[in-house]
Amino acid sequence: MVKSYRHITSPVLAVLFAMGFYACSTTKSVPEGDRLYTGTTVKWDGKKPRDYGTLKASLESSVRPKPNKKFLGMPIRLWLYNLGKKPKGKGLNYLLRNKLGEAPVLLSSAKPDYTANVLEQYMVDNGFFQALVTSEIKTSGSKKASGVYTVTPNHRYRIKSVTYETDSSDLGKAIAAAYKNTSLKINRPYRLDSIKAERVRINNILKDQGYYYFTVDHLLVEVDSTNNGMVDLYLKVKPETPPQAKRPYTMKNITLYPDYSLDQDSMARRGTPVLYNGLRIIDSAKKFKPSVFDRMVFLKPDSLYRLSNHDITLHRLTDLGTFKFVKGQFRQVRGDSSRLNASFYLTPYPRRSLSAELRGTSKSNNFAGSELKITAKNRNWLHYADLLEISLSGGLEWQVGGKATSTAVGGNGYNLKAEAAVTIPRFYQPFWNLNVHTPYVPRTRISVSYELFSRSQLYNLNAYNFQFQYIWRKTQYLEHKWAPVSVTYVLPTKTTTGYDSILKYDPSQRAAIEKQFILGGSYDITYDNKASNKIHTFYMNGNLDYSGNLAGLIVPRNDTGMKTIVGSPFAQYIRLSADIRHYWKLSRGLTWVNRIFAGYGMPYGNSSTLPFVKQYFIGGSSSLRGFRARTLGPGSYRDTSSKYLANEAGDVKLEYNSEIRAHLSGIFNAAVFLDAGNIWLKKEIPEKPGSQFSTGRFLSQIAVDAGAGLRVDASILVVRLDLAFPLRKPWLPEGERWVMKDVKFGDPDWRKENLILNIAIGYPF
């Protein structure tokens, strides 16, 4: 026992000794007479307001200097710096001091009095007009020091009244009309940021009424704080505001230069304008059809200048994807003090491009592979700014581990795909010219594709697809996709005797290669504000997918009771899916993410289940990570015969994921997570007992797993490693499905059976 104890404690003592040694060496490079600055504490001496958390976080972020960065509580970069010496060249010392290490943050760089004034001004800007901030430097030992700032807030001033002091001019009336939606509310705390936001709001309103030369600097807000802890606000136009800022403007000429280049500025400006629906287009090379810009430019001759139309025009010309630089210029018309000329200078991308993409894949069913994709693009096809994409791709897939149950299962495979798609920057339809008033270009995408997937010892699968789709967004965060026409034809060929033998033991595999048509469409709506940098952000997606509805009304049944087109049955179903994710930024480097996915498919008519390509799957690196992809479910069913040809699918899916993500250091992040869910069939089949969805028992069939992960986030690429294990196995007898008591990390047999390492690219959700 003593020997075992020493065996455990010896390395622990060594680590503690090393940590103590390095801790002492953090001040090694601190100059004589100076100290290592270890950080700052902000204390609040007074009653805490409702927004105390926000105030304190802002105060702490305003303090300078920041101490040396730490990883797991240790200043590793400072240690590395101290290991090196003053570099004389590009050797090891240069690497430690200038690349990997971080110089010590010194007390001499701190300015306590200046920082206290900065914090005090921040308090004043948030209504604490009598706030007091004191500073103190605390020393530790002979070489360390820290700062302490004590904030005494005193009374916080609130808004008593808001008055817009305006005259009877058109400008004064426009400002007075803006008062009803003011953001300065009575009895709310005084905040300088709120006053700035109000000035911006009024300026935008005026600019949308033609006041092009009016700016926020022409507005003045006076504050009277002599009302016993309350303030009166008076908003007015500055007396020195120039006359041109006080009058509204209308448009005269709108000129576009769609082939502009700084290198050939004078040449690009020359040429005879082509007039099209009031626009003047100077395009000597005739690279673009004039009708392209009719749907992009919302400013019109003889109309009032409006900021909203100005912004929409710039945004649309940029969102078109054809121009890499877009510049707008407005000038007052000579001899006419109330009109503007607008010029838009557009620098196009190269018309054609060719790109290649090489990818590697690793799957949880012991298959690995690679794929090469070549894409040719034409950004101005037929001179209408249409995007034409032609892509060819091919890949190989082979088994890298595991023992197959038959030679058929272990076969390698390859896939080939060709696709041609054209994206038109408008709603393409013959009935009316619809042009929604948004900053985002509506699009129509038409695509045709062919894909061949071959598993040499099993089957060949051919898929032909045609899709007609509308894509549009109303706001920055909300996008719609509607495909009124989507046709897919699946044609299996060259099935082998080996695959036929698999079907005897697992008839559900036949659904993977059924010959059929999918005639229908889909509607997809997505809300995503993750880029807004708020504390709480969301991603929400809803999808409606349908097939065979119209064809089912027209096509009669044949002798077998099926409805077919050119001898092939077509699928009939309605499928609804919802994916909701909540991102909660708990602190600067800590985020809690929760995700709920629910999907329900209702097959009818020709179909007893959803088509295989439309069914739901579960498990794997972006789902329930403690279960291998497509091996879980449906329901409490457990298949052991297709270990290396996992294709379990369902008509119903429920999934919940919860993950806490923490930033470690540099490009390294960590996570702990919990996953739960399962799939079910709408109608149970005899070969899979317990697979049917039932409202009375689906909760008892939920699978649960947990795990931890490491992520290497290099911005353009995220490499993710997640290690997970099951906590609940729904195929076990009821009362025995929770398996937490069986977790044995030290048992190699348990690890082999339960621990799953997921290696993937990108975050799971």
**How far is CA 745 from its chain centroid?**
35
Answer whether residue 412 shows pLDDT above 50: yes
Do residues 494 and 400 both lie within one domain? yes
pLDDT of residue 289: 94
Number of separate domains in the chain: 5
pLDDT of residue 136: 94
**Mean pLDDT taken over the chain:** 87
pLDDT tens for 184-212 read 999 999 999 999 999 999 999 999 999 99
Mean pLDDT is highest, among 20-24, 98-102, 415-419, for: 415-419
Report the alpha-carbon distance of residue 114 to residue 581 in Å, rounded.
43
**How far is CA 106 from its chain centroid?**
39
**673 pairs with which residues across the strands?**
659, 707
Amino acid at 548: G
pLDDT of residue 199: 96
Last residue of a domain, one of 228, 246, 264: 246
Last residue of a domain, one of 118, 135, 152: 152
Report the alpha-carbon distance of residue 664 to residue 70 in Å, rounded.
9
Amino acid at 615: Q
Report the alpha-carbon distance of residue 741 to residue 735 in Å, rounded.
13
Amino acid at 472: W
pLDDT of residue 405: 42
Backbone angles phi, psi at 199, to 5 degrees: -60, -40
Instruction: List the one residue out of 105, 103, 113, 104 whose CA is nearest residue 137.
Output: 113
Degrees to nearest 5, angle at CA 732 with 730 and 737 = 65
Sequence-distant (6+) residues with CB within 8 A of 9 are none
Which CATH number goes with the domain that contains 122?
3.10.20.310
Report the alpha-carbon distance of residue 171 to residue 456 in Å, rounded.
77
Report the alpha-carbon distance of residue 716 to residue 739 in Å, rounded.
39
- Any idea which residue has 């959803």 for tokens? 610
Residue 137 within any structural domain of the chain: yes
Residue 559 within any structural domain of the chain: no
Answer whether residue 361 shows pLDDT above 90: no
Reading the block at residue 565, the tokens are 């087109």
pLDDT tens for 540-573 read 999 999 998 777 777 777 777 778 787 778 888 9
pLDDT of residue 1: 38
Number of neighbouring beta carbons within 10 Å of residue 455: 23
Cα distances from 290 to residues 274, 313, 344, 378, 438, in angstroms, run 8, 15, 14, 18, 21
Residue 95 within any structural domain of the chain: no
pLDDT of residue 224: 95
Mean pLDDT, rounded, for 527-539:
91
Do residues 684 and 761 both lie within one domain? yes
pLDDT of residue 505: 63
Helix (H, G, I), strand (E, B) or coil at 542: strand
**In contact, 322 and 348? CB cutoff 8 Å:** yes
Answer whether residue 269 shows pLDDT above 80: no
Sequence-distant (6+) residues with CB within 8 A of 365 are 628, 629, 630, 644, 645, 646
Do residues 593 and 670 both lie within one domain? yes
Burial (0-12, 13-18, 19+ Cβ within 10 Å), 398? middle
Mean pLDDT, rounded, for 695-717:
90
Last residue of a domain, one of 348, 368, 387: 348
Reported for 559-564, long-range contacts at CB under 8 A and 24+ positions apart, including other chains, are: 562/606, 563/605, 563/606
Which CATH number goes with the domain that contains 705?
2.40.160.50
Residue 190 within any structural domain of the chain: yes
**342 pairs with which residues across the strands?**
254, 330
Residue 233 within any structural domain of the chain: yes
Residue 133 within any structural domain of the chain: yes
Backbone angles phi, psi at 248, to 5 degrees: -80, 155
**In contact, 214 and 245? CB cutoff 8 Å:** yes
Residue 481 within any structural domain of the chain: yes
For the chain, helix (H) and strand (E) counts, in that order, are 13, 29
Q: What band does 605 get if pLDDT is binned at 50, 70 and 90?
A: confident
Do residues 170 and 193 both lie within one domain? yes
Helix (H, G, I), strand (E, B) or coil at 244: helix
Element (H, E) at 17: helix 2-24
- Any idea which residue has 């911006």 for tokens? 200
CA dihedral (12, 18, 21, 24) positive or negative: negative
CA dihedral angle for residue 274, residue 280, residue 282, residue 287, rounded to 10 degrees: -70
**469 pairs with which residues across the strands?**
445
**In contact, 516 and 570? CB cutoff 8 Å:** yes
Mean pLDDT, rounded, for 278-290:
93
Residue bearing the bigger pLDDT, 283 or 142: 283
Residue bearing the bigger pLDDT, 279 or 227: 279
Cα distances from 36 to residues 27, 73, 98, in angstroms, run 6, 16, 19
Report the alpha-carbon distance of residue 457 to residue 502 in Å, rounded.
12
Do residues 316 and 454 both lie within one domain? no
Do residues 48 and 60 both lie within one domain? yes
Do residues 307 and 367 both lie within one domain? no
pLDDT of residue 351: 94
Do residues 229 and 256 both lie within one domain? no
- Any idea which residue has 């710096």 for tokens? 81
pLDDT of residue 567: 74
pLDDT of residue 645: 55
Do residues 237 and 264 both lie within one domain? no
pTM, two decimals, is 0.79
Domain span holding position 296: 250-348
Do residues 333 and 432 both lie within one domain? no
Q: What band does 415 get if pLDDT is binned at 50, 70 and 90?
A: confident
Percent over 70 (pLDDT), the chain: 90
CA dihedral angle for residue 379, residue 384, residue 386, residue 392, rounded to 10 degrees: -70
pLDDT tens for 444-497 read 999 999 999 887 777 888 899 999 999 999 888 999 999 999 999 988 887 777
Do residues 539 and 465 both lie within one domain? no
pLDDT of residue 3: 41
Instruction: List the one residue out of 663, 632, 659 whose CA is nearest residue 646.
Output: 632
pLDDT tens for 582-595 read 999 988 789 999 99
First to last CA, the chain: 48
Mean pLDDT, rounded, for 499-521:
72
For 548-618, list the strands marked E by DSSP.
564-565, 568-569, 573-587, 590-603
Mean pLDDT, rounded, for 710-734:
90
pLDDT tens for 614-672 read 889 999 888 999 998 888 989 999 876 544 456 788 999 999 999 999 988 788 999 99
Answer whether residue 520 shows pLDDT above 50: yes
Q: Which spans in 106-264 are helix H?
A: 112-125, 170-177, 192-207
Residue 405 within any structural domain of the chain: yes
Q: What is the DSSP string of 413-462?
A: EEEEEEEEEEEESS---SS-----SSSS--EEEEEEEEEEEEETTTEEEE
Do residues 229 and 268 both lie within one domain? no
